[in-house]
Structures are given as C-alpha cells and as structure tokens.
C-alpha cells in the first residue's frame, strides 16, 4: 500500500515543484498527483541522433539539432530589453537565435570558444531564418550516441514555460520522480494477458515512454499503454452493462399477437430486408429474457429503421403494454405520427401525438387516455419526458435519432414505469465501429447494413455558384418529370442573422426563377412559428409545392419519396455527417435521385476533401471514417457529452486493432469474474477502483 500512497502524493511535494508550480501543473495540465505526472505522456518524439548543418535548414522544418558556436549577443528594445539575439554558426553558415525572456540569466551563459549543440524549431522572420528559445548545451556534455536519441516532447503552456516548465522541464520532473527510491511501478494487468500478448510490463513501459532506450522498446511501451487504456475503458463499459442487465428486471413479452401479425401480413406493402428481419429477431429475443433491453439500432439513412421500431412497439401492445416513440423535431414527430397512425388505423391501435405545440384541449385528452390505457402508442418530441406525462403501463420506448438527445433524457423515460421499459435507440449518424464500441459500449448494437431493394444510389455532383443557371435548368427538367426539390441553406448559431438573410434572399430568387402558377415554393426555418412551419411543410408533403427551401430543420428523418433532388447551398459550411444526412433525404423512391453541392470557387483544403468524399461515395461508414480523420473524435455529434474520448495515449481513429483485442479480453474477464474477485485479478481490481470508483465503495456498485 505504501507505494500507492506515494503515487497519490500531491504534485507540489515533488522535488523541484513547490506550491506555485504545483498550482500551475494542476490548473494547466490537470496534473494533481505524482501518478498523474507519470501518466503525462509525450505527444511525440524527436530524433536527436541527427545533427543538421546550418545550410540544410529551412523555415517550416520540425525541430532540428545543430552543432556550432555562438557569438554576437545583442540586446534590443526601447528603454528596457524586449529581445536578445545571437549568431549561431557552423562551417556552412549562420542563423539567428532569439530570446524574449530570461536575458539576465542568458547574458553571460555562452563562451565564444565552446562548441554548443542547439535544438529548436526554425522559423522565418523578415526573410531570415531564426530559432527562438533553442535548447542549448555545450557539446562535451551531450553524448549524441547515448540512448536512442529519441527526445520526448511534452505539451506545455505559456504560463508553465515562464516557470521553466517547458517540455524539457517536465521531462526533468519525471526523471526526478523515476529516480525516487520510494517509487514502485506495479503491474496492473493480469499475468496471462501480459504473456499472451507479449506486452511490456508496466514499469518498463513507463520508463521507456519517457526515456526510450531504443525505437523497439518505445514502440512496445506505446502499444502496452494504449492497450491498458482501452482495456480499462472497455472493462468499465462492460461491467456497467452487466450490472444493468443483471439488476434491471425487464418486462417479458412472450407472445406475438394480432396487432403484430395483422400489420405484418395485411398492412406492410413491401418485403422486409434481411437486415430488418434480423434486427426484429434480435429485439424479440431480448424482450423474452426478463432483462431490460437497451439496444442501439444503427442504420444508414433510408435503411428503414422506422418499420422495425413500429413492429417492436406492436409487440409491446400485443402483450398489453403501451409504447412511445420520441423524435428530436416537431416535423419529424408529426411525420411519424401521420404515417404510423395511417397504417394502424384499420387494425385498431390508437396512436396519439404530443409535442410542444399540441393544443391544451387536445393535450388534456391525450394525458387522460394515456393514464387509462386507451392510447396504445404515443409519438412526440421531448414533450414526452415531462413529468405530467404519465402512462398506464409503458413497456417500450423508442428514441429516434438518438444523437440529438442527451443520455439524461433517455434515462428519464426509464422511470415512466415501475419496471423499466425496454429501450430502443436509433441513429443514422454513421459512427465507425471503433467509436460505437466505445461511445455506445454499454448498449447492445443492432445494425441494418442493407438498403431496401430497388433503390438507385444518389448521384452527387459538385457545382460552383457561378453555374447556378445551369442548376436552375436542371431543376426545371426534374419538376417537369414530376419530381420535388429540396434546397437547403446552412444555419449556424453564431451567424444566425446573416444565414437567415441568405436563406430569405435565396428563397426570393427561387420564387422569381420559379414563379406561380407553374411552380410553388415552400419555405421552412427554425424561426417560424410551428403552425406556419407545419403548414409549409404539409404543402410540400402533399405535393402542392415542388420546391422546399429550408434550413437543416429537414435534416433529420423526413421521408418524402417523391423528392429526388437535394441542393445544398454553401455546402462547404456543413460537416460531413450532416451532408450525408441531408443527402439521405433523397433516393427514397424508385427514381434516380441527385444531390448537388453548391460552393464558391475558393475552398479550404478540408472543405474540398469533404465535398470530394461526398461525390465519391454513398457509403455512410466510409464517410464516418473520413469524418473522424478530418475532425477527430471529439467533434462527432453525440460523443461530446460522453467524455469517454478524452484519452491519454490511445487514439480510436488509429488504434482499432488494439481496441478489438482489448475489448475481447475485457469481455472474457467480465464473463468469468464479473466482480473481479479472483486472486489473479486483484491488481486489476485495484487499478479499476482507482480509475472509476475513486471514493465510492465497491460494495455500493456491486
């Protein structure tokens, strides 16, 4: 235990830290304890075995190492010194060194006769190359061949650098800690994993991550620490899931009844895809077990998730329970309501709609019928989770477009029945598998990986704004063929006013180009009253108008098979997954559909890559992978709140293989020893408690 206590020591007590730097380390880098310092890993390594010549260096190069002499120290500044420069030269030429602080100490630090090794990043200033704040050591002190020559780089901050805690300073602190005789780095992974995977032990991994002896050991240290990080995340997710499935009793649906069968045999006018059938089977399995179901249904836009949800809800109704479906927008709820109530009308299932704009007179009736059980299915927005909405016996909850809701909102629906209802959350946001395993690691995952037959892939085309007239011509042709057109404008919170103006200007120019009585144009945006929004939307759904100009309010879920052209204005301003969602609004009927991405001629590199990716592929998973690479995981919708992605060393965009292995081992251990009671898992348990339970007692969780 002594060792543990030592690592828990507050950082300020480390030799060379003290209260002031301690506060900075805490505030700037979240390093609170010695243990935190040990796991503050370098973000990269620089090869110090190479020495450059001055005439080889160019601005924009990464860090370089030079060997030569220092002369011509000068001070610059008005009244007081603001800058100090020096000339650094070798046989091939010279560069300027520059400092903006630390003059007093530096003033007499260099001797003209001594050869120095300097290390820094060249940059360009007024046509000259200089190196600011280089690291300098006299060459007799540096043995270039010593160690691996791999120099670790730690991220630091201005405030820390002012207290000499730059990368090198941090490395020094770690050295002090590693040299402390009280330090003992214990293994935390079970011996069999270490030997199966031939992992480096914890001690060697920590030493080599900070002070790599050679490339091979550094590689092994990185691999080991990535594995450890991913493994503990998975272990935690799986344990939570296990506890939930074991503790949370679930309603049992043991029969398939008339509602389900009538819908399947008499109402449904298409064959389910195999993927849809598979998912329905998975759900039916879940609801027989007596455990609460928590399942994520993941399927690309247009893959037909709604019908799966509906049939699952009918199963609940067949077994005497109510069900509800929550969608993120009013328009989407309304649309679900219209299609679902229409298809269930003849088989006697009562469906209600509850949103923020439901009239209070209707509302009272709905709430009453919910309590007395008259109403079988309730569809709506987050109005459903309000306290006043009480069910007689809610047995099944569907959340559509889950990525728009927070986890807390999902949980609220759990408590609307004494035994938690089964929960099916659906999302079309294509998440790469690695991310799904991590963000949704505590849910069971079903995938619809097949689109209904007979659909033609959407053709995606990139057009510059200056070709607008051609695009208008194309729109006319399509309308002549009986199709409908979406035109979408970006609306981003920060520039809302400007965006709204763009949208309205756009609308006006469309109305001018497509005048009545031959054409009708609808407009929908978030600032409109919801009654107006619905009116405009319904005109488009009924086919009274051929063009719908809107913001991204239509992004999610809207289903109008006759609309076959999606035009996205300022496409460069949308993220990839949003573009893909928008494109998913078309391509739902039998006709060839088109997605036209309009942009200016000038595009940033990243925007161009997004547009090119869209033109190249319709595959949601490929798009998700690219998105992840372009933006990094922190930005993907629905993942921010999870916090799970703040990793120290692993990177799920790159470490998929390690993640899979880590998950497999975590699964095995969770199955064999869920409470981590076995002798061989004691170290593991200790680490787990440190990471996830902190002060909470183990017994409360188990």
Instruction: Tell me how far, at minimum, the Cβ of 434 lies from ligand ADP, in Å.
Output: 22
As beta bridge partners, residue 322 has 394
Q: How far apart are CA 55 and CA 95, in angstroms?
A: 9
- Identify residues 371-430 at the interface with ligand ADP (CB under 6 A): 428
Separation of first and last alpha carbons in the chain: 23
Q: Write out the two tokens for 438.
A: 């991590």
Question: Dihedral of CA 631/634/638/640: which sign?
Answer: negative
- For residue 597, the surrounding DSSP H or E stretch is strand 594-599
String marking each residue 232-271 x if it binds ligand ADP according to CB under 6 A = --------------------------------------xx
Of 399, 443, 444, 422, give the one whose Cα is nearest residue 315: 422
Q: Write out the two tokens for 45.
A: 């390594």
- For residue 622, the surrounding DSSP H or E stretch is helix 620-631
Q: Given the complex with ligand ADP, which of 590 and 680 has the nearer CB atom?
A: 590
Cis before 559? omega within 30? no
Q: Which residues contact 429 (CB under 8 A, 6 or more apart)?
A: 401, 403, 577, 581, 624, 636, 637, 638
With contacts defined by CB under 6 A, name the span among 98-106, 177-185, 243-251, 294-302 that binds ligand ADP: 294-302
Integer angstrom CA distances of residue 477 from 468, 470, 487: 14, 11, 16
Residue 452 contact partner, candidates Mg ion, ligand ADP, none, CB within 5 to 8 A by sort of partner: ligand ADP
Residue 169 contact partner, candidates Mg ion, ligand ADP, none, CB within 5 to 8 A by sort of partner: none
Pairing outcome for strands 563-568 and 484-488: parallel
- Identify residues 558-577 at the interface with ligand ADP (CB under 6 A): 559, 561
Identified binder of ligand ADP from the candidate list 190, 302, 441, 620, rule CB under 6 A: 302
Q: How far apart are CA 593 and CA 503, in angstroms?
A: 23
With contacts defined by CB under 6 A, name the span among 7-15, 296-304, 632-640, 656-664 that binds ligand ADP: 296-304
Instruction: Tell me how far, at minimum, the Cβ of 588 lies from Mg ion, in Å.
Output: 11
Instruction: Tell me how far, at minimum, the Cβ of 603 lies from Mg ion, in Å.
Output: 31
Q: Given the complex with Mg ion, which of 436 and 475 has the nearer CB atom?
A: 436
Instruction: Tell me how far, at minimum, the Cβ of 565 lies from ligand ADP, in Å.
Output: 17
Residue of closest CB approach to Mg ion: 557
Q: Answer for the pair 130, 110: CB distance below 8 angstroms, yes or no.
A: no
Q: Given the complex with ligand ADP, which of 561 and 575 has the nearer CB atom?
A: 561
In total, the chain counts a number of residues equal to 702
- Identify residues 595-654 at the interface with ligand ADP (CB under 6 A): none
As beta bridge partners, residue 397 has 324, 423
Q: Answer for the pair 464, 601: CB distance below 8 angstroms, yes or no.
A: yes
Residue 687 contact partner, candidates ligand ADP, Mg ion, none, CB within 5 to 8 A by sort of partner: none
Residue 273 contact partner, candidates Mg ion, ligand ADP, none, CB within 5 to 8 A by sort of partner: ligand ADP
Instruction: Tell me how far, at minimum, the Cβ of 580 lies from ligand ADP, in Å.
Output: 11
With contacts defined by CB under 6 A, name the span among 256-264, 295-303, 374-382, 687-695 that binds ligand ADP: 295-303
Q: How far apart are CA 247 and CA 671, in angstroms?
A: 16
Q: Which residues contact 167 (CB under 8 A, 6 or more apart)?
A: 42, 152, 153, 154, 155, 156
Instruction: Tell me how far, at minimum, the Cβ of 620 lies from ligand ADP, in Å.
Output: 10
Half-sphere exposure of 176 (CA within 13 A, CB side): 15
Q: Given the complex with Mg ion, which of 237 and 297 has the nearer CB atom?
A: 297
Q: Given the complex with ligand ADP, which of 549 and 558 has the nearer CB atom?
A: 558
Q: Given the complex with ligand ADP, which of 427 and 434 has the nearer CB atom?
A: 427
Of 117, 116, 120, give the one whose Cα is nearest residue 61: 120
Phi, psi at residue 428, to the nearest 5°?
Answer: -110, -5
Instruction: Tell me how far, at minimum, the Cβ of 273 lies from ligand ADP, in Å.
Output: 5
Residue 301 contact partner, candidates ligand ADP, Mg ion, none, CB within 5 to 8 A by sort of partner: ligand ADP
Q: What is the DSSP letter of 452?
A: P
Q: Given the complex with Mg ion, which of 488 and 611 has the nearer CB atom?
A: 488
- For residue 566, the surrounding DSSP H or E stretch is strand 563-568
Contact between 299 and ligand ADP per CB under 6 A? yes
Residues found near Mg ion in the complex (CB under 5 A): 557
Q: How far apart are CA 163 and CA 173, in angstroms?
A: 13
Q: Answer for the pair 352, 341: CB distance below 8 angstroms, yes or no.
A: no
String marking each residue 200-229 x if it binds ligand ADP according to CB under 6 A = ------------------------------
Contact between 533 and ligand ADP per CB under 6 A? no
Q: Write out the two tokens for 594.
A: 């088109």
Q: What is the DSSP letter of 637?
A: T
Instruction: Tell me how far, at minimum, the Cβ of 545 lies from ligand ADP, in Å.
Output: 20
Q: Given the complex with ligand ADP, which of 169 and 589 has the nearer CB atom?
A: 589
Residue 307 contact partner, candidates ligand ADP, Mg ion, none, CB within 5 to 8 A by sort of partner: ligand ADP
Of 97, 100, 106, 223, give the one whose Cα is nearest residue 162: 100
With contacts defined by CB under 6 A, name the span among 254-262, 297-305, 340-348, 461-469 that binds ligand ADP: 297-305
String marking each residue 432-471 x if it binds ligand ADP according to CB under 6 A = --------------------x-------------------
String marking each residue 265-284 x if it binds ligand ADP according to CB under 6 A = -----xxxx--x--------
Residue 205 contact partner, candidates Mg ion, ligand ADP, none, CB within 5 to 8 A by sort of partner: none
Integer angstrom CA distances of residue 502 from 58, 213, 490, 511, 513: 45, 59, 9, 14, 16
Q: Total residues at the site for ligand ADP (CB under 6 A)?
A: 19
Q: What share of the chain is helix, strand, coil (3-state, %, to 5)?
A: 45, 20, 35
Identified binder of ligand ADP from the candidate list 190, 304, 380, 633, rule CB under 6 A: 304
- Identify residues 21-60 at the interface with ligand ADP (CB under 6 A): none
As beta bridge partners, residue 139 has none
Pairing outcome for strands 377-380 and 521-524: unpaired
Residue of closest CB approach to ligand ADP: 304
Q: How far apart are CA 88 and CA 136, in angstroms?
A: 11
Contact between 588 and ligand ADP per CB under 6 A? yes
String marking each residue 140-169 x if it binds ligand ADP according to CB under 6 A = ------------------------------
Q: How far apart are CA 225 and CA 565, in angstroms?
A: 49
Q: Given the complex with ligand ADP, which of 232 and 263 has the nearer CB atom?
A: 263
Q: Given the complex with ligand ADP, which of 316 and 428 has the nearer CB atom?
A: 428
Q: 3-state class of 176 per DSSP?
A: helix
Q: Answer for the pair 220, 654: CB distance below 8 angstroms, yes or no.
A: no
Contact between 65 and ligand ADP per CB under 6 A? no
- Kindly report the three-state secondary structure assignment for every residue of 295-318: EEEEECCCCCHHHHHHHHHHHHHH
Contact between 306 and ligand ADP per CB under 6 A? yes
Q: Is 140 exposed, middle or buried (0-12, 13-18, 19+ CB in 10 A)?
A: exposed
Instruction: Tell me how far, at minimum, the Cβ of 424 lies from Mg ion, in Å.
Output: 12
Q: Given the complex with ligand ADP, which of 148 and 306 has the nearer CB atom?
A: 306
Instruction: Tell me how far, at minimum, the Cβ of 686 lies from ligand ADP, in Å.
Output: 45
Instruction: Tell me how far, at minimum, the Cβ of 409 lies from Mg ion, in Å.
Output: 18
Residues that bind ligand ADP (CB under 6 A): 270-273, 276, 299, 301-307, 428, 452, 557, 559, 561, 588
């Amino acid at each position: 235990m002594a060792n543990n206590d030592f690592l828990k020591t507050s950082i300020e007590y480390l030799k060379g830290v003290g209260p002031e730097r301690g506060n900075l380390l805490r505030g700037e880098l979240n390093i609170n304890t010695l243990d935190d310092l040990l796991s503050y890993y370098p973000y990269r390594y620089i090869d110090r075995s190479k020495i450059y010549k001055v005439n080889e260096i160019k601005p924009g190069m990464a860090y370089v190492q030079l060997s030569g002499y220092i002369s011509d120290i000068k001070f610059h500044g008005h009244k007081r010194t603001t800058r100090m420069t020096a000339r650094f030269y070798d046989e091939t030429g010279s560069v300027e060194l520059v400092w903006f602080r630390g003059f007093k100490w530096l003033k007499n630090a260099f001797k003209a006769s001594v050869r120095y090794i300097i290390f820094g990043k060249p940059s360009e200033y007024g046509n000259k190359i200089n190196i600011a704040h280089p690291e300098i050591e006299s060459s007799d002190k540096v043995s270039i061949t010593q160690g691996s020559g791999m120099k670790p780089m730690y991220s630091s901050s201005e405030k820390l650098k002012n207290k000499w805690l730059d990368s090198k300073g941090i490395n020094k602190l770690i050295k002090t800690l590693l040299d402390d005789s009280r330090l003992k780095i214990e293994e935390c992974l079970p011996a069999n994993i270490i030997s199966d995977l031939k992992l480096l032990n914890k001690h060697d991994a920590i030493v080599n991550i900070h002070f790599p002896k050679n490339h091979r050991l550094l590689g092994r240290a990185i691999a080991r620490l990535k594995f450890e990080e991913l493994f503990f995340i998975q272990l935690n997710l799986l344990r939570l899931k296990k506890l939930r499935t074991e503790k949370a009793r679930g309603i049992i649906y043991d029969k398939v009844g008339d509602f389900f069968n009538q819908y399947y045999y008499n109402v449904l006018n298409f064959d389910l895809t195999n993927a849809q059938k598979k998912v329905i089977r998975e759900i039916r399995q879940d609801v027989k077990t007596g455990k609460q179901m928590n399942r994520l249904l993941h399927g690309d836009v247009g893959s037909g998730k709604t019908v799966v949800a509906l049939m699952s809800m009918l199963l609940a109704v067949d077994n005497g329970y109510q069900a509800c479906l929550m969608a993120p927008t009013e328009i989407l709820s309304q649309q679900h309501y219209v299609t679902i109530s229409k298809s269930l009308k003849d088989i006697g299932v009562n469906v209600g709609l509850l949103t923020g704009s439901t009239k209070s007179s209707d509302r009272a009736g709905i709430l009453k019928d919910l309590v007395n059980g008259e109403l079988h299915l309730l569809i709506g927005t987050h109005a459903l989770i309000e306290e006043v909405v009480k069910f007689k016996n809610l047995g099944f909850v569907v959340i559509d477009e889950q990525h728009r809701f927070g986890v807390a909102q999902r949980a609220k629906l759990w408590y609307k029945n004494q035994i938690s209802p089964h929960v099916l959350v659906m999302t079309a946001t294509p998440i790469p598998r690695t991310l799904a395993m991590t963000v949704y690691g505590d849910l069971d995952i079903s995938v619809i990986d097949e689109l209904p037959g007979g659909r033609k892939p959407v053709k995606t085309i990139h057009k510059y704004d200056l070709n607008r007239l051609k695009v208008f011509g194309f729109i006319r042709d399509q309308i002549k063929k009986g199709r409908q057109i979406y035109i979408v404008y970006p609306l981003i919170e920060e520039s809302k006013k400007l965006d709204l103006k763009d949208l309205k200007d756009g609308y006006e120019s469309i109305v001018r180009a497509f005048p009545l009585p031959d054409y009708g144009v609808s407009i929908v945006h978030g600032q409109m009253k919801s009654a107006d929004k619905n009116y405009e939307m319904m005109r488009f759904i009924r086919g009274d108008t051929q063009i719908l100009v809107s913001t991204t309010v239509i992004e999610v879920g809207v289903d109008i098979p006759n609309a076959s052209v999606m035009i996205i204005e300022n496409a460069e301003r949308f993220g990839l997954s949003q573009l893909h969602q928008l494109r998913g609004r078309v391509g739902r009927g039998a006709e060839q559909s088109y997605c036209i991405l309009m942009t200016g001629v000038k595009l940033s590199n990243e925007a161009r890559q997004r547009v090119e990716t869209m033109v190249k592929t319709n595959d949601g998973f490929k798009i998700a992978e690219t998105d992840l690479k372009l933006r990094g995981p922190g930005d993907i919708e629905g993942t921010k709140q999870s916090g799970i992605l703040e990793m120290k060393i692993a990177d799920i965009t790159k470490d998929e293989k390690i993640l899979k292995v880590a998950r497999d081992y975590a699964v095995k251990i969770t199955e064999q020893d869920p409470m981590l009671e076995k002798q061989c898992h004691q170290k593991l348990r200790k680490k787990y408690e440190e990471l996830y339970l902190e002060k909470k007692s183990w017994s409360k969780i188990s």
